[in-house]
Each structure stands twice: as structure tokens, then as C-alpha cells.
A and B are shown apart, each in its own frame.
Chain A
Amino acid sequence: MDNHWRIGVPRFKTMLFRLVPEETTRIALLRRGEVDVADVSRERVAELEKEGFPVHFRKEEAILSMYWVLPRDGQPTADKRVREAMNLAVDRAEIAQAIFAGKAEPAFIPLGLSWSFRDIGFKVSPEMVYPYDPARAKKLLADAGFPSGFSLELYAFQLPGLPEGKAFAEAMSGYWQKIGIKTKIVPLDYPGFRKLWVDRKVPGAVGYYNIANRDWIGAYALLEKMAYTPSKANDTVADPEIDGMIAQVMRQTDREKINALMRNIFTRLRSEHYGVPVVYLHSPYATSKTLGKWNPGSVMYDLFFDQLASGK
């Protein structure tokens, strides 16, 4: 249209979305000027920036969070000290730098969708930050009755937006091997792992997902699936206290009370170590040199293309 009440006269007449699976081809199209925006992998950002292509990041677009397949009964991870040890054994800063080319930030709250934190007033306190402490991790394992470690299956797969999936799994395996956990990497595509997870065929095994970040309502919907016992198949937490808090959120209409409940849920997920949060991933989008200013924003699945087209 000629003049929109919100964005004025659009800078572009048409917007075409092209499905181009191969990254090399997307970058070639960008270089040729055939596309204006291309999503690229983190490892090619430096090369494109050197050529003068602006690269915009959706900061913390996803949290790469690991979780155990339930049930926990009879598994080493039934002991909170083991779960804490597996978190302390991981050097998150090193992973962010080495695996994700510095385009990631350490994460410390299991299932902690940070875009929701600002909505509910949640802050990650210094005590919540996991240090990298393999010595303390080994001691915790010994205290829990595993001085020689134990065996663990880690399912490794790529995911959309996570081409580094298998390299990441190998790195995590390395950290856990160092504290005595004999990690066996099982390469399997995600649908194959998902079936094992929801059918609870491999209790105690570890999987992961790059969960898209979102606001508090989206975060609640995710917790209601992945941290809530009545959701059965998808639950990864099995904690009656968290179940109670999630059920209360459902019935609550007072926003302040909802915020307080949500903060308590995240606090308990962290204090009980219900998962291994690793990093928040920044997603790069390279643009043509003539495109101009663009803020890709921080709203789930919305890249603010309307702002890009804005004439105001």
C-alpha cells in the first residue's frame, strides 16, 4: 500500500522468502545481491564482516539446555549432588567461545527463557552462576556414592539453528569424562531421540534442544509441558513443588502473583539442578550493504521485517 498508518510509505514493494537449504548458496546469493537478508552460521560471521556485510544478531534467540530422560528413580541423577556435579563440570565460557565462535552467552537456569525474565522481574543472582569447578564436581560425585563415576548415554544430533550439535555433544562428553562419568555418545536424529524420550525407554540418558526464547506466556506454556508431571511424556523435571506452582499460575489472575510464582519456578529449577543449561545462542543474519538499519528484535519467531520496511 501507498501509506500505512504505522510504517508510512514502505521502503520495499514486495518481500520474497526464498527457501535455500545450503548455506554456501545463501552467502553466494548475498554476495551477488540477489538476496538482502540471509541467515548464516556463527562460524562464517567473521568472514562476512570482513567483506563489509553487516551482520545483525538476535541476541539469546534460543537456550541450549540439556535434560535427562525420566524416570529418575534408580538413576545416579536421582541424587541432587550428581545433577549439580554435572553442571559444575562444564566450562560454559569455553563452549561459548570454542563451539559457538563467541556468539553465545553462558546460561545458568534450566529451561530459563531469558526473554521472559524481564516480564516477570527475574534476575540471575551471582549465587545462581555455575562456576567451572571440576574438582568440586568430583567431590560431589564421591559424596553421592560415585567416586569412580558412572555410565551415561548422551544422544547427539543436529537441529535447525544448531549445526554445531554434534560438536557440542562431544565437548560435553569430554567435560563429563574428566570427572569420571563414562559418557557414551549415541548419534541419532532428533525424531529418533524424541521417541525414546517421550516413551521413557532410556531413563537417565541425556538429550538437548535449542529452545526458542520467548515472553513469559510462552515460557509458561513451555514449563507446563517440560516441567510439569501431569504433562507426562514431555516432563523432564518430576518435582511436586514445581507442579504445584505451575498449577497455581493456571488459576491465578493477579499479574504480580503470577510473576512471583514464575520467579519461584525458575529459582527452584536452578536450586534443584533440574537440567544442564549451557548457553544462550545468538543467531546471526547477514544483510546486504545497502539494506540499512535493522533491529531483528527479541520476539519469538518475529524478525521485525515490518520495521525493516518502515519508511518512518
Chain B
Amino acid sequence: MIRFVLSRVLQSLVALAILSVVVFVLARATGDPLHLILPMSASEEDYAYARRYLGLDRPYVEQYFSFVGKAVMGDFGTSLRARRPVSELIRERLPNSLRLALFAMCVSLSFAFPLGVLAAVKKGTWIDRTAQVIAVLGQSLPTFWVAIVLVEFVAGRLQWLPAGGIAGFASHILPGFTVGWVVLAGMMRLLRSGMLEVLDSEYVKLARVKGVVERRVVWLHALKNALIPVVTFAGIYFAILVTTAIVVETVFAWPGLGRLAYEGISSRDFPVIQAVVLTTAVIVAVVNLGVDLLYAVIDPRIRHAR
């Protein structure tokens, strides 16, 4: 198990190194950030001065190694636009994204599990059909549309909930629902199909024949074996929610990492773009490792094979 963890960590480090080169090159391929930072009437001399001041006049190789050397120490440089340390911006924004993602996952799991299991157990009934409609809607309605409709009607017209920003528990509901809705739909479908497969298996039939109560058969014996794909899905989506909920964070004015990424890209703020991409990669790597370890907990066969 330790060897497995170490090899995964090493793989992640190699991936991060390659990613750092890719993001460095791609960020600079998008164009000169000074066109956005300086006013339209800025002269050539203004551009030259700004380039020297921001270190953008150095050779690319020098800029890259300077960036990497500082990044391993947690220093991602200074934001070209905000003129503040990027690590400070990330420290401010990441907890907000984590909060939103955790809230969304809690909401999704709370509804996906009972609905997914019930849809499988009550296959063909109105419960199953309702669950399928929810799944289809969740996976087909665009997130930006759901977000704007909720803001316009639930917050603006009905005034039931806050429209934007972070201010108490109530402000989590609309953005959390918007991002969690997609996750709920996907998890519910996976759980339903997983449960249907497992409920038809021999060991479940044996448990029933042995007289085990149906509730235990479903929630203890069958559910555990239907969880693997759901855990994978939840892990992948958690990382996505934390790092790339750009649309939702923009619509709800939620000061998270996704919005920081959008602001960085819009203003060609290289240090911010590089830092957000690397932070995202680290989060994805950590979450994937956590999911792999969770497999071993859920399924002893995987634990012993490793």
C-alpha cells in the first residue's frame, strides 16, 4: 500500500512538471497582457517601462525557471493586475471554492443516494420515472442557464434567497444547488444502474433466501458493491467543482478559484493563470489519490491485490 501511494505521488509530480511547462507556454501564447493593463493611449515608452517593471522583458527560459523555483516554495509571484502576491489571492479564494464544493456535494449525496437506491429498488414505478426525469434534466440543462434563471426568479423576483456574494448560510443555497444539480443527476444514474446490476447478482439472491431483511440486503450488502463507480464520479466532480466552477462563481459573484481563473485569463495575468492551473492540478492529484485509497476501503479485493 505504501509503495502504491509513493508511486502515485511520483506520477503526480511528473505530471505537474509537464503541466507547468504547458501552462507557461500557453499563457504567453494568448497575447501581451500589457494591452489590458495599460490605457489605450499608452506610448511605446510606457510599454517598455511596464515590461521591465513586471519582468516580462526577460528571456522566456529565465522567466520559467524563476517561476518554478519560486512556485515550489509556494511563491507564485505577483499578480500583474491586482499587484498582490498570487499566493495571497489563492489563499483568499480557495477556501470559498472548497466551501461551495463541499456544500454542493453534501446536497447532491443527500439526494442522490436515497433517490438512486429507491429508483433501482422500485424500478418501473413513478419513483423510478421521476428520478430519471431529474437525471435527464440535470445533465442536459446548461449550468449558466440554471444559474441565471435562479438569480432572476428565485432571488430577484420572488426574493426568497440572496442573489450573490458570500453572506451566511442562505447565500450558499442557490450556487450550491446550481453546481450540485449536475453532480446529483450523474451520481443518481450511476447508483441506479449499479444497484440494478448488483440486486440481480447471486449473492444478493442468496442473502434473501437466507432470510436477511430486505432493508439490510439493499443498504448493506448491495449498496456497498454499487459504490465504486459512484465514488470515482464523486471524486472527479469534487475536484472539478473546487477548481472550475467559473460560470457559477461569476454569476453569483462568488469569490472563488474559478472566478480568479476567469479574471486571470481575461486580463492575461500570467502569474495568476499559472498558479491556478498548478493548484488545480495538485487538487485533482490529491483527490484522485484519496479516491484510490477509498476503493481499498470499500472493496477488500482491491486492498489485498495492492
Contacts and interface: CB of A to CB of B under 8 A. Distances in A.
B23 interface: no
B162 A194 contact: no
Interface in A1-56: 18-22, 24-25, 27-29, 31-32, 34
A187 interface: no
A25 B31 contact: no
A225 interface: yes
Interface in B59-82: none
A191 B268 contact: yes
Given A222-B41, A225-B43, A24 B156 contact: yes
Contacts of B259: 21
A192 B156 CA distance: 36
Contact of A18 (B32, B148, B165, B252): B165
Interface in A216-233: 221-222, 224-226, 231-233
Interface in A239-284: none
A25 B253 contact: yes
B85 interface: no
Given A22-B148, A195-B35, A27 B156 contact: yes
Contacts of B250: 21-22
Nearest to A21: B250
B155 A32 contact: yes
Given A209-B40, A222-B41, A233-B43, A29 B32 contact: no
Residue of A28, A191, A211, A222 with most chain B CB atoms under a 10 A cut-off? A28
A160 to B, nearest CB: 10
B84 to A, nearest CB: 15
A116 interface: no
A232 B32 CA distance: 18
Contact of A194 (B40, B151, B159): B40
A229 to B, nearest CB: 13
A234 interface: yes
A234 B40 CA distance: 8
A28 B163 contact: yes
Given A25-B164, A192-B31, A232-B44, A31 B251 contact: no
A25 B35 contact: no
Contacts of A190: 35
B31 A195 contact: yes
Interface in B240-258: 250-253
Nearest to A31: B156
A29 B174 CA distance: 14
B41 A191 contact: no
A194 B37 CA distance: 12
Interface in B128-181: 148, 151-152, 155-157, 159, 162-165
Nearest to A20: B253
Contacts of B43: 225, 231-234
Given A20-B164, A31-B157, A194-B35, A25 B40 contact: no
A191 B35 contact: yes
B251 A25 contact: yes
5 contacts: A22-B250, A32-B156, A195-B32, A226-B41, A233-B44
Complex A-B, nearest 10 residue pairs according to Cβ-Cβ distance, in ascending order: A28-B156, A225-B41, A28-B163, A191-B35, A20-B253, A28-B155, A25-B164, A194-B35, A22-B251, A31-B156
